[in-house]
Amino acid sequence: MIEIKDKNVWDNFVKSFPQRTFVNSWDWGEFRKSLGDKIWRMGLLKDGELESIFLASKVYAKKGNFLLLNHFPIIKESSVLEEVLFNIKKIAIKEKVSFVRIAPISNEPLDGFIDSSSRVFPTRSWVLDISTSEDEILSGMRKEYSRRIRKASRNKDIEVVISNNINDIDLFYSLMDTTSKRQGFSSFSKEYLKKEFDVFSLDNNIFLSLGYYKKRLVAGALVVLYSGKAFYHHGASEALSSTISVPQIVQWVAIKEAKRRGATTYDFWSIAPDDNPSHKWAGLTFFKKSFGGYAINYPNAKDLPMSKRYWLTYVFEKIKR
Protein backbone atom coordinates (compact mmCIF):
# COMPACT_ATOMS: atom_id res chain seq x y z
CA MET A 1 0.00 0.00 0.00
CA ILE A 2 1.37 3.43 -0.89
CA GLU A 3 0.34 7.00 -0.12
CA ILE A 4 -0.78 8.85 -3.24
CA LYS A 5 0.55 12.40 -3.29
CA ASP A 6 -0.15 13.35 -6.90
CA LYS A 7 -3.56 14.85 -7.67
CA ASN A 8 -3.44 13.80 -11.33
CA VAL A 9 -2.61 10.19 -10.47
CA TRP A 10 -5.52 10.10 -8.04
CA ASP A 11 -8.15 11.74 -10.22
CA ASN A 12 -7.14 9.88 -13.38
CA PHE A 13 -7.70 6.57 -11.57
CA VAL A 14 -11.07 7.67 -10.18
CA LYS A 15 -12.22 8.95 -13.56
CA SER A 16 -11.88 5.48 -15.07
CA PHE A 17 -14.84 4.30 -12.92
CA PRO A 18 -18.36 5.05 -14.27
CA GLN A 19 -19.86 5.07 -10.74
CA ARG A 20 -17.54 7.84 -9.51
CA THR A 21 -18.92 10.81 -7.60
CA PHE A 22 -17.36 14.04 -6.36
CA VAL A 23 -16.77 12.53 -2.90
CA ASN A 24 -14.14 10.30 -4.55
CA SER A 25 -12.23 13.32 -5.86
CA TRP A 26 -8.90 14.69 -4.70
CA ASP A 27 -10.65 17.95 -3.83
CA TRP A 28 -13.07 16.18 -1.49
CA GLY A 29 -10.03 15.08 0.50
CA GLU A 30 -8.81 18.67 0.61
CA PHE A 31 -12.24 19.73 1.80
CA ARG A 32 -12.25 17.12 4.58
CA LYS A 33 -8.82 18.40 5.67
CA SER A 34 -10.17 21.95 5.79
CA LEU A 35 -12.83 20.71 8.23
CA GLY A 36 -10.07 19.48 10.54
CA ASP A 37 -10.13 15.79 9.58
CA LYS A 38 -6.96 13.77 9.26
CA ILE A 39 -7.01 12.04 5.87
CA TRP A 40 -5.33 9.15 4.09
CA ARG A 41 -5.11 8.82 0.30
CA MET A 42 -3.87 5.30 -0.25
CA GLY A 43 -3.36 3.12 -3.29
CA LEU A 44 -2.76 -0.60 -3.78
CA LEU A 45 -0.15 -1.54 -6.36
CA LYS A 46 0.08 -4.85 -8.23
CA ASP A 47 3.03 -5.30 -10.61
CA GLY A 48 3.56 -1.54 -10.57
CA GLU A 49 -0.04 -0.74 -11.53
CA LEU A 50 -2.70 0.84 -9.34
CA GLU A 51 -5.48 -1.64 -8.58
CA SER A 52 -7.40 0.27 -5.92
CA ILE A 53 -7.46 3.53 -4.01
CA PHE A 54 -9.26 4.78 -0.93
CA LEU A 55 -9.77 8.10 0.80
CA ALA A 56 -10.26 7.75 4.55
CA SER A 57 -11.05 10.65 6.88
CA LYS A 58 -10.67 10.59 10.64
CA VAL A 59 -13.75 12.37 11.94
CA TYR A 60 -13.53 13.81 15.44
CA ALA A 61 -16.94 13.52 17.09
CA LYS A 62 -18.45 13.59 20.56
CA LYS A 63 -19.96 10.18 19.94
CA GLY A 64 -16.46 8.81 19.32
CA ASN A 65 -13.84 9.35 16.65
CA PHE A 66 -14.25 7.22 13.53
CA LEU A 67 -12.85 6.60 10.07
CA LEU A 68 -15.16 7.61 7.23
CA LEU A 69 -14.95 6.33 3.66
CA ASN A 70 -17.48 7.78 1.21
CA HIS A 71 -18.50 5.82 -1.89
CA PHE A 72 -16.03 2.99 -1.38
CA PRO A 73 -14.61 0.83 -2.93
CA ILE A 74 -12.86 2.10 -6.04
CA ILE A 75 -11.19 -1.10 -7.26
CA LYS A 76 -10.37 -2.77 -10.57
CA GLU A 77 -10.86 -6.33 -9.32
CA SER A 78 -12.85 -7.67 -6.37
CA SER A 79 -9.95 -9.96 -5.52
CA VAL A 80 -7.97 -7.06 -3.97
CA LEU A 81 -10.77 -5.89 -1.67
CA GLU A 82 -9.71 -8.06 1.27
CA GLU A 83 -6.20 -6.58 1.20
CA VAL A 84 -7.59 -3.04 0.96
CA LEU A 85 -9.89 -3.62 3.96
CA PHE A 86 -6.97 -5.08 5.92
CA ASN A 87 -5.04 -1.82 5.43
CA ILE A 88 -8.05 0.28 6.44
CA LYS A 89 -8.35 -1.74 9.65
CA LYS A 90 -4.65 -1.15 10.34
CA ILE A 91 -5.21 2.60 10.21
CA ALA A 92 -8.28 2.29 12.45
CA ILE A 93 -6.31 0.34 15.06
CA LYS A 94 -3.40 2.77 14.97
CA GLU A 95 -5.71 5.77 15.29
CA LYS A 96 -7.73 4.10 18.09
CA VAL A 97 -11.08 5.01 16.54
CA SER A 98 -14.39 3.65 17.83
CA PHE A 99 -15.49 2.38 14.43
CA VAL A 100 -15.02 2.52 10.67
CA ARG A 101 -17.98 3.76 8.61
CA ILE A 102 -18.30 3.10 4.89
CA ALA A 103 -20.93 4.55 2.56
CA PRO A 104 -20.67 1.90 -0.21
CA ILE A 105 -20.80 2.71 -3.89
CA SER A 106 -21.46 -0.91 -4.85
CA ASN A 107 -22.57 -4.24 -3.39
CA GLU A 108 -19.07 -5.61 -2.86
CA PRO A 109 -19.05 -7.74 0.33
CA LEU A 110 -17.48 -5.97 3.30
CA ASP A 111 -16.47 -8.77 5.65
CA GLY A 112 -16.85 -7.95 9.34
CA PHE A 113 -19.03 -4.88 8.72
CA ILE A 114 -22.61 -4.55 9.94
CA ASP A 115 -25.51 -2.39 8.78
CA SER A 116 -25.08 1.08 10.22
CA SER A 117 -27.77 2.66 12.35
CA SER A 118 -27.03 5.94 10.54
CA ARG A 119 -29.13 6.94 7.52
CA VAL A 120 -27.45 10.25 6.72
CA PHE A 121 -25.91 8.89 3.51
CA PRO A 122 -28.19 8.75 0.46
CA THR A 123 -29.16 5.26 -0.68
CA ARG A 124 -30.96 6.51 -3.78
CA SER A 125 -30.05 9.34 -6.14
CA TRP A 126 -31.88 10.77 -9.11
CA VAL A 127 -29.80 11.33 -12.25
CA LEU A 128 -30.62 13.16 -15.47
CA ASP A 129 -28.83 12.69 -18.79
CA ILE A 130 -27.99 16.19 -20.02
CA SER A 131 -25.87 15.17 -22.99
CA THR A 132 -28.80 15.79 -25.34
CA SER A 133 -30.13 19.15 -26.58
CA GLU A 134 -31.96 21.58 -24.30
CA ASP A 135 -35.20 20.95 -26.20
CA GLU A 136 -34.85 17.19 -25.68
CA ILE A 137 -34.21 17.65 -21.95
CA LEU A 138 -37.27 19.87 -21.62
CA SER A 139 -39.42 17.38 -23.54
CA GLY A 140 -38.38 14.62 -21.11
CA MET A 141 -39.66 16.54 -18.09
CA ARG A 142 -43.09 16.38 -16.55
CA LYS A 143 -45.16 18.61 -18.83
CA GLU A 144 -46.14 20.86 -15.94
CA TYR A 145 -42.47 21.52 -15.16
CA SER A 146 -41.37 22.29 -18.72
CA ARG A 147 -44.36 24.64 -18.99
CA ARG A 148 -43.43 26.34 -15.71
CA ILE A 149 -39.82 26.80 -16.82
CA ARG A 150 -40.82 28.38 -20.13
CA LYS A 151 -43.30 30.64 -18.37
CA ALA A 152 -40.78 31.67 -15.67
CA SER A 153 -38.18 32.50 -18.31
CA ARG A 154 -40.56 35.16 -19.66
CA ASN A 155 -41.48 36.55 -16.23
CA LYS A 156 -39.69 39.87 -15.70
CA ASP A 157 -40.11 39.53 -11.92
CA ILE A 158 -37.88 36.41 -11.94
CA GLU A 159 -34.11 36.53 -12.34
CA VAL A 160 -31.65 33.65 -12.01
CA VAL A 161 -27.96 34.38 -11.51
CA ILE A 162 -25.03 31.96 -11.75
CA SER A 163 -22.50 32.96 -9.10
CA ASN A 164 -18.88 31.93 -8.56
CA ASN A 165 -18.52 34.37 -5.67
CA ILE A 166 -17.95 32.78 -2.26
CA ASN A 167 -19.51 35.84 -0.59
CA ASP A 168 -22.88 34.78 -2.00
CA ILE A 169 -22.76 31.77 0.33
CA ASP A 170 -23.95 34.15 3.06
CA LEU A 171 -27.19 34.79 1.18
CA PHE A 172 -27.60 31.15 0.22
CA TYR A 173 -26.98 29.94 3.77
CA SER A 174 -29.57 32.33 5.20
CA LEU A 175 -32.17 30.91 2.83
CA MET A 176 -31.01 27.35 3.51
CA ASP A 177 -31.27 27.87 7.27
CA THR A 178 -34.84 29.15 6.88
CA THR A 179 -35.70 26.19 4.66
CA SER A 180 -34.32 23.64 7.12
CA LYS A 181 -36.26 25.12 10.03
CA ARG A 182 -39.48 25.13 8.02
CA GLN A 183 -39.04 21.53 6.88
CA GLY A 184 -37.63 20.21 10.17
CA PHE A 185 -34.17 18.98 9.20
CA SER A 186 -30.63 19.94 10.18
CA SER A 187 -28.64 21.97 7.67
CA PHE A 188 -24.90 22.18 7.20
CA SER A 189 -23.12 25.12 8.80
CA LYS A 190 -22.14 28.24 6.88
CA GLU A 191 -18.49 27.36 7.56
CA TYR A 192 -19.02 23.92 5.95
CA LEU A 193 -20.54 25.47 2.82
CA LYS A 194 -17.83 28.11 2.51
CA LYS A 195 -15.03 25.59 2.85
CA GLU A 196 -16.61 23.30 0.27
CA PHE A 197 -17.06 26.25 -2.08
CA ASP A 198 -13.52 27.49 -1.46
CA VAL A 199 -11.86 24.13 -2.25
CA PHE A 200 -13.86 23.22 -5.36
CA SER A 201 -13.71 26.76 -6.77
CA LEU A 202 -9.92 26.45 -7.17
CA ASP A 203 -10.58 24.36 -10.30
CA ASN A 204 -13.83 26.16 -11.18
CA ASN A 205 -15.81 23.05 -10.17
CA ILE A 206 -18.59 24.63 -8.14
CA PHE A 207 -21.23 27.30 -8.61
CA LEU A 208 -24.43 28.75 -7.16
CA SER A 209 -27.66 29.11 -9.10
CA LEU A 210 -29.60 31.85 -7.31
CA GLY A 211 -33.23 32.64 -8.08
CA TYR A 212 -34.73 36.04 -7.26
CA TYR A 213 -38.38 37.04 -7.28
CA LYS A 214 -38.97 40.79 -7.27
CA LYS A 215 -35.30 41.27 -6.27
CA ARG A 216 -35.56 38.91 -3.26
CA LEU A 217 -33.64 35.63 -3.12
CA VAL A 218 -36.24 32.86 -2.89
CA ALA A 219 -34.48 29.74 -4.25
CA GLY A 220 -30.96 28.49 -4.76
CA ALA A 221 -28.81 25.50 -5.64
CA LEU A 222 -25.17 24.72 -4.95
CA VAL A 223 -23.76 22.48 -7.69
CA VAL A 224 -20.43 20.61 -7.66
CA LEU A 225 -18.78 19.42 -10.87
CA TYR A 226 -16.42 16.49 -11.21
CA SER A 227 -15.22 14.54 -14.22
CA GLY A 228 -18.11 15.24 -16.56
CA LYS A 229 -20.78 15.02 -13.87
CA ALA A 230 -22.71 17.72 -12.01
CA PHE A 231 -24.12 17.19 -8.52
CA TYR A 232 -26.91 19.24 -6.93
CA HIS A 233 -25.41 19.00 -3.45
CA HIS A 234 -27.31 21.67 -1.52
CA GLY A 235 -30.56 23.49 -2.12
CA ALA A 236 -32.95 25.94 -0.51
CA SER A 237 -36.21 27.69 -1.31
CA GLU A 238 -38.99 29.69 0.27
CA ALA A 239 -42.50 28.29 0.42
CA LEU A 240 -43.80 29.85 -2.78
CA SER A 241 -47.11 29.91 -4.59
CA SER A 242 -47.37 27.20 -7.25
CA THR A 243 -47.67 29.98 -9.82
CA ILE A 244 -44.16 31.25 -8.97
CA SER A 245 -41.81 28.67 -10.48
CA VAL A 246 -38.45 29.97 -9.25
CA PRO A 247 -37.15 26.61 -7.88
CA GLN A 248 -37.83 24.96 -11.25
CA ILE A 249 -36.03 27.59 -13.30
CA VAL A 250 -33.15 27.68 -10.78
CA GLN A 251 -32.58 24.01 -11.59
CA TRP A 252 -32.98 24.58 -15.31
CA VAL A 253 -30.39 27.36 -15.34
CA ALA A 254 -28.08 25.15 -13.24
CA ILE A 255 -28.50 22.30 -15.74
CA LYS A 256 -27.63 24.61 -18.63
CA GLU A 257 -24.59 25.92 -16.77
CA ALA A 258 -23.46 22.35 -16.04
CA LYS A 259 -23.81 21.52 -19.74
CA ARG A 260 -21.79 24.61 -20.63
CA ARG A 261 -19.01 23.41 -18.32
CA GLY A 262 -18.89 19.99 -19.96
CA ALA A 263 -21.13 17.85 -17.73
CA THR A 264 -23.14 15.08 -19.40
CA THR A 265 -25.15 14.04 -16.32
CA TYR A 266 -26.87 16.06 -13.61
CA ASP A 267 -27.19 14.21 -10.32
CA PHE A 268 -29.98 15.58 -8.12
CA TRP A 269 -28.39 13.64 -5.24
CA SER A 270 -30.58 12.20 -2.51
CA ILE A 271 -34.21 11.20 -2.91
CA ALA A 272 -36.50 9.08 -0.73
CA PRO A 273 -35.47 5.39 -0.60
CA ASP A 274 -38.89 4.35 -1.89
CA ASP A 275 -42.02 5.89 -3.38
CA ASN A 276 -43.93 6.04 -0.10
CA PRO A 277 -46.05 9.23 -0.34
CA SER A 278 -45.82 9.73 3.44
CA HIS A 279 -42.00 9.75 3.48
CA LYS A 280 -40.62 13.07 4.74
CA TRP A 281 -38.71 13.48 1.45
CA ALA A 282 -41.73 12.68 -0.75
CA GLY A 283 -42.21 16.28 -1.86
CA LEU A 284 -38.51 16.77 -2.61
CA THR A 285 -38.45 13.45 -4.47
CA PHE A 286 -41.42 14.48 -6.62
CA PHE A 287 -39.67 17.77 -7.41
CA LYS A 288 -36.45 16.09 -8.54
CA LYS A 289 -38.10 13.28 -10.49
CA SER A 290 -40.26 15.79 -12.39
CA PHE A 291 -37.18 16.84 -14.38
CA GLY A 292 -36.94 13.35 -15.90
CA GLY A 293 -34.14 10.86 -15.33
CA TYR A 294 -33.50 7.60 -13.52
CA ALA A 295 -32.61 6.30 -10.08
CA ILE A 296 -29.23 5.05 -8.86
CA ASN A 297 -29.33 2.89 -5.74
CA TYR A 298 -26.61 2.57 -3.12
CA PRO A 299 -26.36 0.10 -0.23
CA ASN A 300 -26.94 1.31 3.32
CA ALA A 301 -23.91 2.55 5.22
CA LYS A 302 -21.82 -0.15 6.89
CA ASP A 303 -19.92 0.02 10.18
CA LEU A 304 -17.01 -1.93 11.58
CA PRO A 305 -17.06 -1.69 15.41
CA MET A 306 -13.57 -1.16 16.85
CA SER A 307 -14.47 -0.65 20.52
CA LYS A 308 -17.34 -1.15 22.95
CA ARG A 309 -18.02 2.58 22.79
CA TYR A 310 -19.35 2.07 19.26
CA TRP A 311 -22.53 0.47 20.59
CA LEU A 312 -23.47 3.68 22.39
CA THR A 313 -23.25 5.41 19.01
CA TYR A 314 -25.29 2.64 17.41
CA VAL A 315 -28.12 2.97 19.94
CA PHE A 316 -28.05 6.78 19.92
CA GLU A 317 -28.27 6.97 16.11
CA LYS A 318 -31.00 4.36 15.97
CA ILE A 319 -33.13 6.29 18.49
CA LYS A 320 -32.47 9.57 16.65
CA ARG A 321 -33.48 8.00 13.34
Please write the tens of the pLDDT for every residue from 10-54. Answer: 999 999 998 999 999 999 999 999 999 999 999 999 888 999 999
User: Do residues 135 and 235 share a domain?
Assistant: yes
pLDDT for position 239: 72
Look at residue 179 in the predicted model and tell me its pLDDT. Answer: 78
Q: How far is CA 231 from CA 29, 127, 150, 204, in A?
A: 17, 9, 23, 14
Domain containing residue 288: CATH number: 3.40.630.30
> Could you tell me if 151 and 48 lie in one domain?
no
Q: Inform me whether the pLDDT recorded for 168 exceeds 90.
A: yes
Contact status, residue 27 vs residue 202, Cβ threshold 8 Å: yes
Residues 154 and 207 in one domain: yes
Query: Which 3 state secondary structure label does DSSP give 29?
Result: helix
**Side-chain-side CA neighbours of residue 314 (13 Å):** 17
Give the per-residue pLDDT at 183.
65
Q: Is 189 a residue whose pLDDT tops 80? A: yes
Q: What is the mean pLDDT of residues 141-170?
A: 94
Shared domain check, 282 and 145: yes
Of residues 275 and 206, more confidently modeled: 206
Sorting pLDDT into bands at 50, 70 and 90, what band is 188?
A: confident
**Per the structure, how many domains does the chain have?**
2
Pair 213, 291 in one domain: yes
Answer whether the bond into residue 73 is a cis peptide, omega within 30°: yes
Q: What is the CA radius of gyration of the chain?
A: 20
Q: Residue 315 pLDDT > 90, yes or no?
A: no
275 — pLDDT class (breaks 50, 70, 90): confident
Who contacts 135 (Cβ-Cβ below 8 Å, separation ≥6)? Answer: none
In 3D, which of 45, 93, 16, 4 has the Cα closest to residue 305?
93
- Given a contact cutoff of 8 angstroms between Cβ atoms, the answer to whether 261 and 225 are in contact is yes
Q: Are residues 154 and 287 in the same domain?
A: yes
Domain span at residue 176? Answer: 124-297
CA 250 to chain centre: 18
Mean pLDDT over 104-131 rounds to 91
Mean pLDDT of all residues in 146-159 = 93
Helix (H, G, I), strand (E, B) or coil at 235: strand
**Can you tell me the mean pLDDT for 265-289?**
87
Distances (CA, A) of 19 to 14, 25, 54, 104, 303: 9, 12, 14, 11, 22
Q: Are residues 152 and 236 in the same domain?
A: yes
Q: Tens of pLDDT along 192-233? A: 999 999 999 999 999 999 999 999 999 999 999 999 999 999
Look at residues 288, 255, 254, 257 and name the one whose alpha carbon lies nearest to residue 271: 288
Q: Does 313 score more than 90 pLDDT?
A: no
Give the C-alpha separation, 161 to 210, whole Å.
Answer: 5
Q: Are 249 and 161 found together in one domain? A: yes
CA distance 269 to 304: 26
Chain-wide mean pLDDT for the chain?
A: 92
β-partners of residue 115 are 302
- Do 285 and 159 share a domain, yes or no? yes
Same domain for 313 and 288?
no
- Cα–Cα dist 246/266, whole Å: 19
Is the same domain home to 262 and 287? yes
Domain shared by 215 and 232, yes or no: yes
